[in-house]
Amino acid sequence: MARVAFLGLGVMGAPMAAHLARAGHRVTVWNRTHEKARAWCESNRGMTESDAADAVFGAEFVLMCLGDDPDVAAVYDQIEPSLGGGMVVIDHTTASAGLARDLAARAGSKGAAFLDAPISGGEAGARKGQLTVMCGGSDAAFAKAEPVMKAYSARMTLIGESGAGQLAKSVNQICIAGILQGLSEGIAFAEHEGLDIEKVITAISGGAAQSWQMENRWKTMAGREFDFGFAIDWMRKDLRIALETARNNGASLPLTALVDQYYADVQAMGGARWDTSSLIARLPKRGD
């Protein structure tokens, strides 16, 4: 079993670290709010350090699950002196491809490897250990890290060189944004016609309109219940990264830009922490 340092115990990181501990790995955790790390150790087999560099020292694998580029950059600066030859740094944060490439080069100069490895599957996927991981980096680093990531993942794919994992995550979020807007409009349309939503979904989910979002979110969307997944604040961060990248590479993302503004509308309604299916909240119900 491996010696693992896990940095960042949020709604995704805490259950991921727990899966690693249950799989028998020697886990040392760190969190900016140290009380969270101590609480995690009370419920799981592992250790904690109050300093990120101390948590990383002597680890074979360093896993990060943080918030945004500035968070990743700041934590990496803290742990860099503790990195050494043969170590693999795995960043599960959704961040920019540019940062991933920079950190990969810095890790390489220390004799370590770096994988940008953003995840999809939400809090439920993290708790069930069924996440999808999109990786950028070398074949050797991926092969070495795959048995460790298996503790909390159902699917792991090496997309390409450093940065490719983050770019694939942008593709993921672009697709989800469009699907959820279409599903929101479809449900709202059915409501205005007085159709039985369950029968409609049963009919169309067996055809070309089928999606994970339809199967798992239609009922809560129809009930205007939005406490079941990835928060809008985080989705808008991810879409910001995708839109910034598109401005640099020349890709046209008109629907993504529009849905991002719709999410801003929901934030203004007080829904910043609602899940991403809450796009339907900005559409009037029948009789409104």
Catalytic residues: 169
State the alpha helices, DSSP H only, in the chain: 13-22, 34-43, 52-56, 69-79, 97-109, 122-128, 139-149, 164-192, 197-204, 212-222, 232-249, 254-268
Tell me how far apart the alpha carbons of residues 117 and 108 are, in angstroms, rounded to a whole number. Answer: 17
Measure Cα distances from 20 to 14, 26, 104, 124, 189 in Å: 10, 8, 24, 16, 45
Whether 72 contacts 95, CB under 8 Å = yes
Residue 252, Ramachandran bin (φ over 0: left; ψ between -120 and 50: alpha; else beta):
beta
Two tokens, residue 35: 């009380």
**Within its chain, how far is the Cα of 112 from the centroid?**
24
Tell me how far apart the alpha carbons of residues 20 and 96 are, in angstroms, rounded to a whole number. Answer: 26
Q: What is the DSSP letter of 57?
A: T
Measure Cα distances from 223 to 57, 158, 184, 264 in Å: 49, 38, 12, 21
